[in-house]
Amino acid sequence: MKKRILTVLPIALLPAFSAAEKPEWLEIGSYIAEQVAEYVWEQYTGERPPTAEQAVQYSGKVVAVHDGDTVQIRDGNGRKHKVRLAYVDAPELQQKYGTESRNVLRSAVQGKTVDVTVYEKDRYQREVARIVLRGYDVNLAMIKKGHAWHYVSIAKKKQGKAVFAEYAYAESQARAKKLGLWKSHAPEAPWDYRRKMRGQQHGTSGGRPKETGWFEGWW
């Protein structure tokens, strides 16, 4: 297996400059650093991180909360959107803590106007999106308070590197503090639960392979 050796530039040691006096060499260095960071992310995930230009944005009122990671939003034109929170996986309603997770999300966003950034649609035609309420990332908040998992198998392929790190850290802190579902000693991940249910439906113990793909991930 080939090993890639990465050189980390000591950018933190560079002197601080105001926007007016920033030398040309520093601007060039910053640009190169950004390009290196994007290259590293592509090598790790096989994908370029999503850009703002690739996303669709709108605002609307949350009119229904189906579970801990799926809501319905009515936009300013009266159109309803079924939205799946991106990079988050909450317990299924049939699971322990599934109802509580839904109720927490419902109490936070039901009837409120939110800003929505849609990255794509899943195979059920739900919009996979980030929801922001008064400047707060609702997706991240569900992880931070221990009401959902960071959906790593999906996020490592699609989520921007900085936000991925933020979500991963939020889950690690929720685990350490035993918040929400992490009060249980070994909570069952929703993807494991779904695989178990599929196995029972098909008369097998394992069902389909482990969820690792983009389309296999969003349920």
Query: How, if at all, do strands 127-133 and 80-85 pair?
Result: parallel
Nearest C-alpha neighbor of 76 from the set 108, 105, 116: 116
Q: Which of 47, 53, 126, 166 is catalytic?
A: 126
Q: Which of 21, 38, 79, 92 is catalytic?
A: 92
Helices (H), 46-189: 98-109, 138-144, 152-158, 161-177
- The yes-or-no answer on residue 123 being catalytic is no
How many angstroms separate the CA atoms of 194 and 170, rounded?
24
- The yes-or-no answer on residue 106 being catalytic is no
- The yes-or-no answer on residue 102 being catalytic is no
Measured at the CA of 129, the angle between CA 128 and CA 134, to 5 degrees, comes to 160
For the purposes of burial, counting CB atoms within 10 Å of the CB of 101, is it exposed (0-12), middle (13-18) or buried (19 or more)? buried
Measured at the CA of 142, the angle between CA 132 and CA 43, to 5 degrees, comes to 80
Nearest C-alpha neighbor of 121 from the set 185, 35, 54: 54
Q: Which of 27, 34, 84, 106 is catalytic?
A: 84
Residues involved in catalysis: 84, 92, 126
